Amino acid sequence: MTDAPIRFDLPHDQLPTAWLNIMPSIAQAGIQPLPPLHPGTHEPVTPDLLAPLFPEALILQEVSTDPWVDIPGEILDVYRLWRPSPLQRAVRLEKALQTTARIYYKYEGVSPAGSHKPNTAIAQAFYNKVAGTKRLATETGAGQWGSALAMASKFFGLDCQVFMVKASYEQKPYRRIFMETFGAEVVPSPSPTTQAGKAILEADPDSTGSLGIAISEAVEVAATSGGAIKYSLGSVLNHVLLHQTVIGLEAKAQMELTGDSPDVVIGCVGGGSNYAGLAYPFMADRLAGATPDLRFLATEPAACPTLTEGRFAYDFADTGQMGPLIPMYTLGHTFVPAPVHAGGLRYHGDSPSLSLLVKHGHMEAVAFSQNAVFDAAVQFAHTEGIVPAPESAHAVRGAIDEAIEARDAGEERVILFGLSGHGAFDMQAYDDYLNGRLPEVEYRQEDVTASMANVPDVPVPGEPTRA
């Protein structure tokens, strides 16, 4: 028996009232941020290119160099429905692993939509409402982002249209129904309702879709709407990562309650928002030189290994090449990952700030295949009682591996990981795992080689140019 405390709850009046912007810390550490580029001219993007897609307040946050951004009261009022979220010590998992490590996790599955995504959905819906937007168009992979934006749109009186990656649309009918319950219109992507979708269907009528394709469809709807419809992105962009830092700001205060400070901070990465949200308040200390030994570990699927196998390059954020060129680790914007169950991690690129931190050695990355991820998820469920989202289970795998390594080295190690969501809508994935039907899909080198050939030839300072 151990009587070690397990829950570290922040009082409600300690909900963070400002988001942390990592960009000034990155610049102060001597890392030159690279601007997004216009897809046609390859010149740095000016705010007017983004104006058809996003309200001005979000564009200003996208390029902000202020270290803190105040959270409006209307957003805090909604955050208070489930925030501050819990930080727990996984004592029962530690025991099962017989590890000398102490494992803490920050749990975002307590939000109404079941993941971290409402942290930014609420903010984006609010700023759109203030700017007079009538309707939001977006994409969703596993359905988590669409669920969050459907809820947020309803809260602020906006209509919502969601292009849902077809593989997930077919695997996860309950996610679709969840979105429809909040009044959203859900369309499987690629769809014949947009030029971008039609082009894909003509080339491949059986396309299972991808986040890159669904983004193109939603962007097209907003860009051709004449202003009434705006686009909303659930990850990758600076302002999205900014909104997610409530996670790490709370976690920092909660770690102080534990008396421990983390040796390693772990999270799963699709576009990078939940992990950046947890990690950046800690990363700011590392970049300032205060915690040079604090490690950061990003985890990703072997079927879509952007950080571990991708190249740092300027590439399109979307398959249809409608959005700006972004400096990031990419597998190529035409890469369509195998339909693994971690739908939220099936994105060909990563957020620019996270990519820079990996490139400059402030963050490590590791890729796992599906069955190893679900082994970890089930071990976590058996000990801690929470069935993780397949995406989050990548972070669980990373944390368990760190704990085993610490045990074998006879080290104490304080591990903090982000449990970005629950898997209550992912029972098909667990059924496949439990019945031995989960294929061990890795990316295929020939697919990546083919899609990398479509990455535009735009030089990145400090990177070799293509032969």
Ligand X SMILES: *Cc1c(COP(=O)(O)O)cnc(C)c1O
Site string for ligand X, 272-301 (x = CB under 6 A): xxxx--------------------------
Compute the least distance from the CB of residue 247 to ligand X, in Å. 10
Task: For ligand X, give the closer residue by CB, 232 or 392.
Answer: 392
451 binds ligand X (CB under 6 A): no
Compute the least distance from the CB of residue 181 to ligand X, in Å. 18
117 binds ligand X (CB under 6 A): yes
Nearest in space to 7 (alpha carbons), one of 104, 112, 116, 82: 104
Task: For ligand X, give the closer residue by CB, 121 or 406.
Answer: 121
Residue 217: phi and psi, rounded to 5, are -65, -45
Contact with ligand X (CB under 6 A) among 115, 119, 245, 299:
115
Task: For ligand X, give the closer residue by CB, 94 or 108.
Answer: 108
Task: For ligand X, give the closer residue by CB, 274 or 451.
Answer: 274
Q: How far apart are alpha carbons 440 and 174 in whole angstroms?
A: 25
Q: How far apart are alpha carbons 128 and 303 in whole angstroms?
A: 35
Nearest in space to 321 (alpha carbons), one of 299, 281, 351, 348: 348
Task: For ligand X, give the closer residue by CB, 356 or 406.
Answer: 356
Stretch that binds ligand X, among 268-276, 327-335, 358-366, 430-438 (CB under 6 A): 268-276
Q: How far apart are alpha carbons 306 and 452 in whole angstroms?
A: 12
Per-residue burial over 136-167, b = 16 or more CB atoms within 10 Å of its CB, e = otherwise: bbbbbbbbbbbbbbbbbbbbbebbbbbbbbbb
Compute the least distance from the CB of residue 114 to ligand X, in Å. 7
Task: For ligand X, give the closer residue by CB, 119 or 194.
Answer: 119
Residues numbered 373-402 forming contacts with ligand X, rule: CB under 6 A: 389, 391-392
Compute the least distance from the CB of residue 108 to ligand X, in Å. 7
CB of 339 closer than 8 Å to CB of 380: no
Q: Which residues contact 241 (CB under 8 A, 6 or more apart)?
A: 22, 272, 273, 276, 277, 280, 351, 353, 354
Compute the least distance from the CB of residue 391 to ligand X, in Å. 3
Helix H, strand E, coil C: the string for 126-169 is HHHHHHCCCEEEEEECCCHHHHHHHHHHHHCCCEEEEEEEHHHH
Compute the least distance from the CB of residue 176 to ligand X, in Å. 15
168 binds ligand X (CB under 6 A): no
The tokens for 217 are 């469809």
CB of 322 closer than 8 Å to CB of 220: yes
Residues numbered 356-375 forming contacts with ligand X, rule: CB under 6 A: none
Task: For ligand X, give the closer residue by CB, 50 or 142.
Answer: 142
Contact with ligand X (CB under 6 A) among 344, 349, 352, 398:
344
**C-alpha distance from residue 425 to each of 143, 204, 272 (Å):** 9, 29, 22
Task: For ligand X, give the closer residue by CB, 101 or 269.
Answer: 269
Compute the least distance from the CB of residue 240 to ligand X, in Å. 7
Task: For ligand X, give the closer residue by CB, 34 or 389.
Answer: 389
Residues numbered 227-266 forming contacts with ligand X, rule: CB under 6 A: 235
CB of 270 closer than 8 Å to CB of 392: no
Contact with ligand X (CB under 6 A) among 268, 287, 317, 386:
268
Residues numbered 81-100 forming contacts with ligand X, rule: CB under 6 A: none
Contact with ligand X (CB under 6 A) among 126, 420, 425, 438:
420
Can you tell me which residue has the tokens 């991708």? 310
Question: What is the distance of C-alpha 137 from the center of its chain?
Answer: 18
Residues numbered 124-163 forming contacts with ligand X, rule: CB under 6 A: 142, 144-145
Compute the least distance from the CB of residue 394 to ligand X, in Å. 8
Task: For ligand X, give the closer residue by CB, 104 or 107.
Answer: 107
Task: For ligand X, give the closer residue by CB, 153 or 306.
Answer: 306
Q: Which residues contact 187 (CB under 8 A, 6 or more apart)?
A: 161, 162, 163, 164, 193, 217
Task: For ligand X, give the closer residue by CB, 312 or 347.
Answer: 347
Compute the least distance from the CB of residue 209 to ligand X, in Å. 15
Q: Measure CA of the first residue to CA of the last residue in the chain; give whole Å.
A: 62
Compute the least distance from the CB of residue 336 to ligand X, in Å. 17
Contact with ligand X (CB under 6 A) among 36, 270, 339, 349:
270
DSSP state of 63: T
The enclosing H or E element of 264 equals strand 264-268
Q: What is the dihedral of CA 452, 454, 458, 461, to 10 degrees?
A: -10
Compute the least distance from the CB of residue 2 to ligand X, in Å. 29
CB of 306 closer than 8 Å to CB of 300: yes
Instruction: Give the interface with ligand X as residue ranges (CB under 6 A).
Output: 115, 117, 142, 144-145, 235, 268-275, 344-345, 389, 391-392, 420-421
